[in-house]
Chain A
C-alpha cells in the first residue's frame, strides 16, 4: 500500500539556523499537503502542492514538490522560536486516500 516517509524524525537547531524536512512517497501523489502542529495543539494546514516541480513560498517557508510527484520538502530560513512544533506532510494518492508522514519535530535552541 501507499507509504509516506518523512525525515528526519527530530531536528534541533539554533535560533536563526535553517531547517529542512523531507517527505517521500512510495507511489505517485495527486497532491501533497503540509501541516504544522504546535505542542499540545492540533494540525493546522500550511499549504498544498499539486503540480510537478511546484515551488511555493510563505515568508520564510519554502515548499517544493518533486518532478515525479513522489517527494516534497519544507525549508525554513532563519528559524524563530515561533517555528517550534511538528511538521507533517500528507500525500494524497490517486484513490483519494490521504496518508500522513510521521512528522518532523522541530526544537529551537535559544
Chain B
C-alpha cells in the first residue's frame, strides 16, 4: 500500500496562475483533509471531506477550492495564486467510526508551493 500520496512535490507559480494539487489514498478512508503549514503556525485546516461528493470549509478556506469526485482522491485548487499562499501543503486521510472521524490521520509527504 502506498498510503497517502501527493503530487506534485514542489511547484513554483507566478502570482495569478492557477494549479491543482492532487491527493490520493489507497486505504479506503472516508475522511480526507487539506492543511497548510507555515513557520510558527502549525497545521491549519483548509478544507475537508467526510465522503465522496462532499466537502466542507476548514479554518482557512479563502482562495482555495476542493473536489472529491472519487473516494480515493481529494483535489485542492488555487484559482489565482497569491504570494500569501506560499506554504507547505499536506493532505491527510482517516477512517470513520459510526460516521465520526475519531481516528488517527495519515499524512502525505507534502507539496512545497512557492508563489512569486
Contact = CB atoms under 8 A, between A and B. Distances in A.
A43 B44 CA distance: 13
A106 interface: no
Interface string A65-100: 000000000000000000000001010100011111
Interface of B is mostly: loop
A21 to B, nearest CB: 12
Contact of A45 (B41, B42, B105, B110): B105
A24 interface: no
Interface residues of B, number: 22
A46 to B, nearest CB: 9
Interface string A1-45: 000001001000000000000000000001101010000011111
Contact of A43 (B41, B58, B90, B100): B90
B102 A50 contact: yes
Given A42-B90, A42-B109, A88-B42, A31 B102 contact: yes
Q: Which 4 A-B pairs have the closest CB atoms?
A: A102-B42, A45-B104, A100-B43, A42-B107
